[in-house]
Structure 1
Amino acid sequence: MHTDRFFAPCPRGLEGVLAEELDTLGASAIETADGGVAFAGDFTVMMRANLHSRFASRILWRLGGGRCRTEAELYRAASGIDWPLLFNVERTIKVKTDAIRSPLKSLEFASLKIKDAVCDVFRQRTGQRPSVDTRAPDVRIHAFLTADTATLYLDTSGEALFKRGWRRETQEAPLRENLAAGILRLSGWQPGEPLLDPMCGSGTFLVEAADMALNRAPGRTRTFGFEKLNGFVPARWRTLQDEAHAAERPAAPLPIWGSDRYRPALDSARQNLEAAGLTGCVQLDCRDVLESRPPAEHGVVVCNPPYGVRLDDQDRLAELYPRLGDWLKQHWSGWNAFFFTADLRLAKLIRLSASRRTPLFNGALECRLFAYKMVAGGNRKA
């Protein structure tokens, strides 16, 4: 069985949960790095990771690389890869380059050199060259440059994996699906346990939790980049899809609740739940967070409070946080509460002792996941 090397980028802070997930999906030689996880496996493991990973952003196939301190060395590294073995000349391509401390001046020019190398290899071998499509390419090539190396990857995912295919309506800057799934995993919430998001916005936590509860593969309704590669065997892919479908639980009402004070946000959540095939699975309610009450004796509260960019928003949030602390104290004994926020004032202003503070990144924005165990009489800070 042929084994290849892959790299799965993810939101920073989720490397540990992604490594555990890849282990369950049959990956080997798993190593975490900042912002992702390297692993080994065959084509089937790669397809399974694309279909089932809740936490990865992409699955990148490591093709090779080498020393790289100049554009000429980058061109040489890219020319050393047998591109026609990987995909047909009729496929359109796009090259994307990222770098940390690379001496190369322009990432755009670096991408251009790689594209030239790919086209030159095809021209020498087949007399033809692939076309570039920056909007919807068949094949995406990724390069990662450091101070003295270049590594080249083929993107087996196509569109990013957090694009599950269900999102219809969004409020401002919704949480990415893989980050929401990772927060649910870090909270310790288990399918079947009561869950409430009292500031649910467009419903990302609700959809991800319901999909987990019904054991649905996140990639079950979408297509992937690997379907355009030469090594793709449709029959093997259909088998993986059939196995995933057979493992699903039928849609039914779940102990998952969402509420929001804004009617348009709830309408978005309702449309997204419907698009995800989850109508009737999650209960929605229009109410202010402070009016929410426990729907069960114990469970998990998880939410992403609005992050104030304008000064008047920040003042309103500074008033809200102590009231949130009082609300948890008065009504949520027996529950565990998790607030994901980029507003680090919350920890101080909520006036409760956090049992855990997990650093996470929402894109480049540094955030925290604050955990509060609501035991009767025990959490109030003096």
Structure 2
Amino acid sequence: MLAQELADLGAADIKPTAGGVAFAGPLTLCYRVNLESRIASRVLLRIAEGSYRDEQDVYDAAHAIRWQDWFTPQQRIKVKVSAHHCPLKSLDFVTLRVKDAVCDRFQYARGRRPSVDTHAPDMLIAVYLDSTQCTFYLDTSGEPLFKRGWRKSAGEAPIRENLAAGILRLANWTPDTLLYDPMCGSGTFVVEAALMARRVAPGIGRRFAFEKLLSYDPRPAEALRVELKEREIDGTPGLIHAADHSATALTSIGANLTIAGCSELVTLRQGDARQLLAPAETGLLVTNPPYGQRMGDSESLKAFYPQFGDHLKKHFCNWTVQIFTADMKLPGQLRLAPSRRVPLFNGAIECRLFEFRMVTGSPRKKRADGR
């Protein structure tokens, strides 16, 4: 999904990799992706790479980089090292050696060493090690891109904004299709959908780390912001619906929608997902249902899911249902057969996006006793 989005934004040499997507383009494309990507977590600028066998090789590779061409010693730094099949024993020690190399280079070139700030750095230096190669990046995003700025209230166990946007894209949702989340929580799906319907760039209201690079040119960046603001539209009310049994959740989503500037686009209802009728004859239902502590106890879940499945069969014919969950047994509990299951991760938690196509006489899984 991210590779497709980057192609839409004008990226070249797109290559999906483990945990990310590599792409090429001018620095102005870096600005655009940070501002417009709904799916990326952050944008890393690759500045150097080389082979290594031990920690000294990594130090030498880091020391050879002209860090002074990218930022000043007055800016605070943080080094983050990640690895896959790395033969070195301690990534903490590698992190220390890279930090030493960067500071030593500045001492040599500018006579001053940058300070380290692991909580709010001006520059995040990301280092990736595989079995033989070390690659150095500068983070151009700063705060992770899923932090759009609209979430005043998170509610319980919210999914990240970029994950919700990616799920909407996986579900092939478009703003002219009716969308309904019957267990909306803090409303991540519907807020992201409303922003998409209004063509609001997800990063339009925030700042980025690329603005602190020495190579940063504010003129194309500000021109891009103007272009994106001019692209925004009002959107069509009545096509996005959300519901939750909790009045507190609906208050939260109302606050979030107000901050996002999308209050008029989302119709809110309070009620039980097993009882609320479909808001239209057809559409897309997408939800991250409650589980565990959010439902109170496992006995409540055992009763909830079969009843919700029956409700879908009876009242949501001709709908497509997308359910995102960490519960791999969910289809059996709903007694519905999924037409597609997509592996996804919510942070470190492995999840599935189950698709169910609700048609008259939707397939229902038989119980062991044949009923």
Match of 1:206 in 2: 190
Measure, in 2, the Cα distance between the counterparts of 1:374 and 1:72. Answer: 60
Tell whether the 8 Å contact from 1:192 to 1:254 is kept in structure 2 after alignment.
Answer: no
Counterpart selection for 1:273 from 254, 257, 262: 257
Q: How does 1:295-310 map to 2 (within 5 A)?
A: 295-308=279-292
Change (3 A) 1:311 1:43: closer
Counterpart selection for 1:161 from 145, 168, 183: 145
Q: Matched residue of 2:126: which SS?
A: strand
RMSD: 1.5
Counterpart selection for 2:115 from 111, 131, 149: 131
Match of 2:63 in 1: 79
Measure, in 2, the Cα distance between the counterparts of 1:76 and 1:307. Answer: 50
Measure, in 2, the Cα distance between the counterparts of 1:311 and 1:69. Answer: 51
Tell whether the 8 Å contact from 2:197 to 2:235 is kept in structure 1 after alignment.
Answer: no
> Aligned pair 1:193/2:177, yes or no?
yes
Deviation at 1:284, TM superposition (A): 1.2
Tell whether the 8 Å contact from 1:193 to 1:255 is kept in structure 2 after alignment.
Answer: yes
Deviation at 1:318, TM superposition (A): 2.6
> Aligned pair 1:342/2:326, yes or no?
yes
Deviation at 1:287, TM superposition (A): 0.7
Match of 1:378 in 2: 362
Amino acid corresponding to residue 173 of structure 1 in structure 2:
A
TM-score by length of 1: 0.93
Moved more, 98-107 or 218-227: 98-107
Measure, in 1, the Cα distance between the counterparts of 2:108 and 2:45. Answer: 24
Deviation at 1:310, TM superposition (A): 9.4
Tell whether the 8 Å contact from 2:78 to 2:121 is kept in structure 1 after alignment.
Answer: yes
- Can you list the C-alpha shifts for 1:12-70, whole angstroms capped at 9, x where unaligned? xxxxx100110111110000112110011110111100000000000000111222232
Measure, in 2, the Cα distance between the counterparts of 1:313 and 1:74. Answer: 51
Change (3 A) 1:68 1:319: farther
Moved more, 362-371 or 301-310: 301-310
Match of 1:104 in 2: 88
Counterpart selection for 2:52 from 65, 68, 88: 68
Counterpart selection for 1:318 from 274, 291, 302: 302
Measure, in 2, the Cα distance between the counterparts of 1:65 and 1:106. Answer: 20
Q: Matched residue of 1:291: which SS?
A: coil
Unaligned runs of 5+ residues in structure 2 are: 367-371
- Can you list the C-alpha shifts for 1:195-246, whole angstroms capped at 9, x where unaligned? 1100000110011000111111000000001000011111110111011111
Match of 1:178 in 2: 162
Q: Matched residue of 2:274: which SS?
A: helix
Amino acid corresponding to residue 236 of structure 1 in structure 2:
P
Q: Matched residue of 1:167: which SS?
A: coil
Tell whether the 8 Å contact from 2:336 to 2:362 is kept in structure 1 after alignment.
Answer: no
Moved more, 82-91 or 60-69: 60-69
Tell whether the 8 Å contact from 1:18 to 1:37 is kept in structure 2 after alignment.
Answer: yes
Change (3 A) 1:154 1:249: same
Measure, in 2, the Cα distance between the counterparts of 1:76 and 1:18. Answer: 34
> Aligned pair 1:41/2:32, yes or no?
no
Counterpart selection for 2:277 from 285, 293, 305: 293
- Can you list the C-alpha shifts for 1:78-102, whole angstroms capped at 9, x where unaligned? 1121100011221111111111222
- Can you list the C-alpha shifts for 1:273-306, whole angstroms capped at 9, x where unaligned? 1111112221111111112211111100000012
Counterpart selection for 1:284 from 255, 268, 272: 268
Amino acid corresponding to residue 227 of structure 1 in structure 2:
E
Deviation at 1:252, TM superposition (A): 5.5
Change (3 A) 1:295 1:316: same
Q: Matched residue of 2:242: which SS?
A: strand
Amino acid corresponding to residue 192 of structure 2 in structure 1:
E
Tell whether the 8 Å contact from 1:170 to 1:202 is kept in structure 2 after alignment.
Answer: yes
Measure, in 1, the Cα distance between the counterparts of 2:173 and 2:128. Answer: 35
Measure, in 1, the Cα distance between the counterparts of 2:311 and 2:77. Answer: 53
Measure, in 1, the Cα distance between the counterparts of 2:318 and 2:341. Answer: 20
